[in-house]
Amino acid sequence: MDMTKPAAGFSDVGYKEAMRRAHELVPFLREQAPKCEEARKLTPAVMDALNRTGMLRYLQPKVRGGMELPFIAYFDIPEMLARGDISVGWVVANLASHHRNLVWWDPKAQEEVWSQDPDAGIASGIAYQQGRGAPADGGIVLSGEWNFSSGTDHSNWSMLACIVREGGKPVDYVYCLLHRSDYEVVDDWHTLGMRATSSKTVRCKDVFVPAYRVLSMYVAREGHSWPGLEIHRNPHYRIPTTALGGHCIGGCMVGNARAALEITIDHVKSRSTNYTGAKMREFPTVQLRVSAAGAKIDAAALLLRNDCAEAQGVYEGGGTLDTETRLRYKRNCALAARLCVEAVDSLHEMAGANGIFDRYPLQRIFRDARAAAGHFSFSTDAQLPPWGLVALGGEFSSPTL
C-alpha cells in the first residue's frame, strides 16, 4: 500500500463534519438505547449507523481511510455520542481508540488487520497483571483472563496486556494483538448499568503470539520506541494514552450527564407537582439543583477537554509530557468523573418517584453513571494521591506511564 496517499473511506471527513454527524445521531441513539440495553450490546441498527458515518474510524490514519482527526476529538466525539447513549459513546471511545493504538504496531500487524477489514472492531484487556507472557522463539506464549473488555461483541481482534517474565522476573510489559479465534469470550456481563457495552471477560491459554503482533509498552525503558511511528508521522499519535486514556470515556461521563440535565430541564418546564399544583420551576431548590448540576458538568468538560487540547499543543510543538503533567491529567479525569456522578445523582434524586420507572430515561442514565464510575480511571482514591505525592516533592515511577 502507498502510505503517502489517503485511502478511500472517510479520509475527506474533517472535524466539523464528524461532529455534525455525531450530533445528528443523538436522537436516534436515545430511541435505540432501551433496545441496546436489553440486547446487552449495540443493536445492528446502531452499528450500521456508526459504520455508515465513520464514527468508529475518526482516529484511524487517513492512509487507511480513517478521518485522522485532531486529538481533541478523542474527547469530543464520545462526549457527543454519549448524549444519546453513554454505552454507544463508550464502545466508540474504546474501539476507535484502538484503531489509533494500532498505529504503534509493526506495519505487518496493521496490514493484517486493516487489509482484511478497515472497519474492524478491536477490543482490549489492558490490565497487565491479568496476562502472563513467556518468551518463545519468534514471539511469546500468552495466557490470561481479562475482564471489562468493552465492545467485545463487536470485535474480531483484541489488544491484550501481559507481563513477560523470565525466571519469575518481569522483563517487559506488552500488548498482544490476537484474532478472535485465539481467545474465548465469557458471557458474564450482567450488570447494574452500562449493559450495552458488552464489556465481557476474555481469556486464552498458551497462545503463541508472533513478535510482530507484540508491542512493548515499557515506556520507562531507555530507548523505547513504537515501530509504527516510523510510518505514521502525525504528532497526535505520539500523545500517550497512559496519561489520557481515561479522557475519551470521561467524555462519555460528561455526555451522559448532559443528557440527564437536558431531560430534567424539559421535564421541569412541563411539570407541576402532584400534591400542590405548583410549578416545579418556581421552587428555589429545583433551580439550585439544576444550576449546580450544570456548573459541575461544564467544569468536568472543561477539565477533560483542556487536558486533551494542552497535550495536543505540546506534541504539535515537538514536546513531551513530564511525569507530573501525566499524573495531573489522570487526577483531573477522576475528579471530572466524580463531578458528573454528583450532577446525575442530584438530578435523579429530584425526579422523585418518577425516577424509578423504566419508562423514564433518567433512571437508566443514573444507573449507567454509577456503573461507569467504577472504572479504574475514575477512582479518586487511586488517581489523586500520585499527583499529590509528586507535587509535594516525592517520587513516582511506573514502567508503563
pLDDT tens digit sequence for 84-103: 999 999 999 999 999 999 99
What is the per-residue pLDDT across 340-392, written as a single tens digit (0 to 9) for each? 999 999 999 999 888 899 999 999 999 999 999 999 999 999 999 999 999 99
- Reported as a pLDDT band with limits 50, 70 and 90, residue 188 is very high
pLDDT at 276: 66
pLDDT tens sequence across 108-143: 999 999 999 999 999 999 999 999 999 999 999 999
User: Cβ contacts of residue 318 below 8 Å, gap of 6+?
Assistant: 235
Question: CB–CB of 253/340 below 8 Å?
Answer: yes
Higher pLDDT, 282 or 273: 282
Percent of the chain past pLDDT 70, that is, above it, reads 97
The terminus-to-terminus CA distance of the chain in angstroms comes to 33
Query: What pLDDT is recorded for position 273?
Result: 60
DSSP class per residue in 277-296: --BGGG-HHHHHHHHHHHHH
Does an H or E element contain 80, and which?
A: helix 73-82
pLDDT, tens digit, for every residue of 209-258? 999 999 999 999 999 999 999 999 999 999 999 999 999 999 999 999 99
> Does CATH place domain 15-114 in 1.10.3210.10?
no
CATH class of 122-218: mainly beta
Sequence-distant (6+) residues with CB within 8 A of 53 are 21, 22, 25
- Dist. CA 158–CA 213, nearest whole Å: 11
- The CATH class, in words, for 236-391 is mainly alpha
SS3 87: helix
The packing angle between helices 73-82 and 15-39, to 10°, is 50
Instruction: Please tell me the predicted confidence (pLDDT) of residue 269.
Output: 87
Domain range summary for the chain, segments of one domain joined by +: 15-114, 122-218, 236-391
- Which pLDDT value is given to residue 17? 98
Mean pLDDT of 46-53: 98
Output the CA–CA distances (angstroms, integers) from residue 209 to 137, 139, 161, 273, 384, in the order listed.
10, 6, 12, 63, 36
Angle at which helix 361-372 crosses helix 15-39, to 10 degrees, equals 100
Are 15-114 and 236-391 equal in CATH topology?
A: no
pLDDT 10s digits, 155-183: 999 999 999 999 999 999 999 999 999 99
Q: Which residues contact 46 (CB under 8 A, 6 or more apart)?
A: 28, 29, 32, 36, 88
At 63-80, the pLDDT tens digits run 999 999 999 999 999 999
> What was the pLDDT predicted at 354?
86
Supply the DSSP symbol for 248.
H
What was the pLDDT predicted at 275?
61
Which of helix, strand or coil describes residue 382? Answer: helix
Residues 220, 106: Cα–Cα separation, whole Å = 20
In this model, does residue 6 exceed pLDDT 70?
A: no
Q: According to the model, what pLDDT value does residue 279 have?
A: 86
Nearest residue to 46 (alpha-carbon basis) of 153, 125, 158: 153
Please name the residue ranges forming H helices in 221-378: 241-270, 284-316, 323-350, 361-372
Among 139-143, 149-153, 263-267, 377-381, the least confident range: 263-267
Stretch 261-283: mean pLDDT, rounded? Answer: 82
